[in-house]
Amino acid sequence: MRSNPPARDGNDGTWGAWRAVFQRDLRIALRRRADTGSALVFFVIVVSLFPLGVGPQFELLRRMGPGVVWVAALLASMLALGRLFADDHADGTLEQLLLSPTPLPLLVLAKTAAHWLASGLLLVLVSPLLALQFDLGGAAGGVLFLSLLLGTPLLSLIGTIGAALTVGLRGAGVLLSLLVLPLCAPVLIFGAGAVEAAQAGLGVAAHFSLLGAMLLVALFLAPLAAAAALRIAVE
Amino acid sequence: MSWTRYAAPQRFYPLAGRAVPWFAGLALLLTVLGLYIGLLLAPTDHQQGDAYRIIFIHVPAAWMSMVIYLAMAFWAAVGLVFNTRLASMLAIALAPTGAWMTFIALWTGALWGKPTWGTWWVWDARLTSELILLFLYIGYMSLHAAIDDERRADRAAAVLALVGVVNVPIIYFSVKWWNTLHQGASVSLTRAPSMATTMLWGMLVMALAFWMYSIAVALARTRVIILEREHNTRWARQVLGSA
């Protein structure tokens, strides 16, 4: 075991390492605002293109809205995933993380959490505005907001596995989407399904329960799988 | 003699070579028998007419698409945990066959759907999850192909295969969980099958034929992969005649 002196200010040990990684990733995201913001801008542009493509009838837009916003959120989160481990791999930070005595899945979870705050959460926050473009006001807009709030952490967690598997590969970006998008299909189905159920006047509890259940499972398993993938990638 | 004796690629290679003709022969025999039962003996369905006869290809292919994924994930896991080379080679040898089975199941399903449902494709739970299975196979093979180092490719693809295993029970139970257009299972272990006995026999014989075919092709492919990876060893050079 390690012979560190006992923690005095709560900055030592496993929790301290977790917080250090989390804060570092957040700080990097804040310093590179252009990188962080590009996924958000992509999200807004893609969603805004759909009414231009299919025509401005509100009847049609209301039907399509939930699916369009969800698919755009899925694609935007893919964009941001490529950077999750790539920079750390390039400058050697990743190897330091692998060598650290802190369990790797916990560090991966810290990176995923910071990544979600800097990408997924931003998408969630602008989604009510975009929902208005599709005339999804009131209850439907609220359900869309909540379903994205439950769903985007799930996308980040699943995406972490893909990002870990493709670290340092050529053509990693396209491959990442190829691996992760099929796995994200259930999230999309239940997320968009919740909004459609709300529009039809049905209960949304079942959809939210399933999303929550998937989130809990992914919260436990995804960091483990991603950690295994990182060890394989860097060994 | 230990059962792990044949875990060495060098010993597995001739064993697989002896087994392939047997499995291929059985596959041919059972296919002829199964198609004879299915196309000539089985009665015409009173609802679907003769269109239902595609079941003798569709159902075995759909079964194999799931079974092969499980087998692939199993061998990938064995390769990942015990670090055995042969298990990883078996896993990657199974993937193309599994992808083809998935494709055949989707394709014949579309051909069957047109006359009976009136549409090539519906976004039904079982069809969607089978399509996702096809994407998972493609992702598995793409990831393996993208990594140059074989051992790293084996292990990374194994992690992906294990993550994707979640999808198999979803496909299997989808017609029970979501009551959609795709009909429920006609064959079950717990109750009498809801189809004529000859139809059932035709389907089971065809399923067995698909099993034999898949084993034969996977073993033949494993032999090629073994030679490809071991081409620097003395025994492989002797086999290739380039020593």
Average pLDDT over residues A132-144: 83
The DSSP bridge partners found for residue B49 are: B45
Q: State which residue of chain B sits closest to A227, comparing Cα positions.
A: B159
Q: State which residue of chain B sits closest to A177, comparing Cα positions.
A: B139
Cβ of B139 and A179 within 8 Å?
yes
Cα angle, residue B170 at apex, residues B168 and B173 outer, rounded to 5°: 110
pLDDT at B189: 53
Task: For residue A112, give both structure tokens.
Answer: 């995923």
pLDDT at B125: 75
Provide the CB-side half-sphere exposure for B117 (13 A, CA).
Answer: 16
Cβ of A225 and B163 within 8 Å?
yes
Above 0.85 for ipTM, yes or no? no
Task: For residue A150, give both structure tokens.
Answer: 């439950």
Query: DSSP label at B8?
Result: S
Cβ of A233 and B156 within 8 Å?
yes
pLDDT at B170: 78
Q: Which DSSP string do the residues of B69-86 spell out, in sequence order?
A: HHHHHHHHHHHHHH--HH
Count of helices and strands (H, E) across chain B: 8, 0
Provide the CB-side half-sphere exposure for B29 (13 A, CA).
Answer: 7
Q: State which residue of chain B sits closest to A230, comparing Cα positions.
A: B156
* Of the candidates B158, B194, B18, the residue with the CA atom closest to the CA atom of residue B80: B158
What are the per-10-residue average pLDDT scores of chain B (243 residues)? Answer: 76 88 93 87 74 85 92 92 89 93 91 81 80 91 89 90 85 67 62 69 90 93 90 84 67
Cβ of B159 and A161 within 8 Å?
yes
The residue ranking higher by pLDDT, A79 or A157, is A157
Reported as a pLDDT band with limits 50, 70 and 90, residue A1 is very low
The answer to whether residue A229 neighbours chain B at the CB level (below 8 Å) is: yes
Cβ of B132 and A171 within 8 Å?
no
Cβ of A183 and B170 within 8 Å?
no
C-beta separation of B66 from B168 below 8 A = yes
Long-range contact pairs involving B190-199 (C-beta distance under 8 Å, separation at least 24) = B196/B42, B196/B43, B198/B37, B198/B41, B198/B42, B198/B43, B199/B38, B199/B42, B199/B43, B199/B55
pLDDT at B180: 59
Q: pLDDT per residue over A43-92, tens digit each?
A: 999 998 988 888 888 888 888 888 889 999 999 988 888 888 888 888 88
pLDDT at B210: 93
Q: How many residues make up chain A in this entry? A: 235
Cβ of B136 and A182 within 8 Å?
yes
Q: CA–CA separation, A100 vs A98, rounded Å?
A: 6
Percent of chain A with pLDDT over 90: 32
Distance from CA of B152 to the nearest CA of A (A): 6
- The partner residue sitting opposite B156, judged by closest CB among A170, A189, A232, is A232
Cβ of A178 and B139 within 8 Å?
yes
Of the residues B147, B148, B166, the best mutation for testing chain A's interface (the one with the most A CB atoms within 10 Å of its CB) is B147
* Of the candidates B67, B62, B64, B68, the residue with the CA atom closest to the CA atom of residue B109: B62
Distance from CA of A30 to the nearest CA of B (A): 32
User: How many residue pairs from chains A and B have C-beta atoms closer than 8 A?
Assistant: 50
Q: CA–CA separation, A72 vs A65, rounded Å?
A: 11
Task: For residue A229, give both structure tokens.
Answer: 């993938």
CB atoms within 10 A of CB A17: 19
| Contact list, A183 vs chain B (CB under 8 Å) | 136, 163-164
| Angstrom distances, CA of residue A204 to CA of A125, A198, B173 | 20, 6, 22
Put simply, the chain A residues between 85 and 144 with a CB less than 8 A from any chain B CB are: none
pLDDT at B239: 83
Q: pLDDT per residue over A23-37, tens digit each?
A: 999 998 888 888 888
Cβ of B139 and A185 within 8 Å?
no
Q: State which residue of chain A sits closest to B135, comparing Cα positions.
A: A182
- The partner residue sitting opposite B159, judged by closest CB among A169, A186, A228, is A228
Mean pLDDT computed over every residue of chain A: 86
The answer to whether residue A228 neighbours chain B at the CB level (below 8 Å) is: yes
3-state secondary structure of A145: helix
Residue A8 pLDDT greater than 60, yes or no: no
Long-range contact pairs involving B79-85 (C-beta distance under 8 Å, separation at least 24) = B79/B154, B79/B155, B79/B158, B80/B154, B80/B155, B80/B158, B80/B159, B80/B162, B84/B7, B85/B9, B85/B229
Phi, psi of B45 (to 5 degrees): -75, 140
Of the residues A157, A189, A214, A232, the best mutation for testing chain B's interface (the one with the most B CB atoms within 10 Å of its CB) is A232
User: With the C-alpha atoms ordered B44, B50, B51, B56, is the resulting torsion angle positive or negative?
Assistant: positive
Q: How many residues make up chain B in this entry? A: 243
pLDDT at A12: 66
Q: The whole model's pTM is what?
A: 0.85
Q: CA–CA separation, B240 vs B236, rounded Å?
A: 6
3-state secondary structure of B45: strand
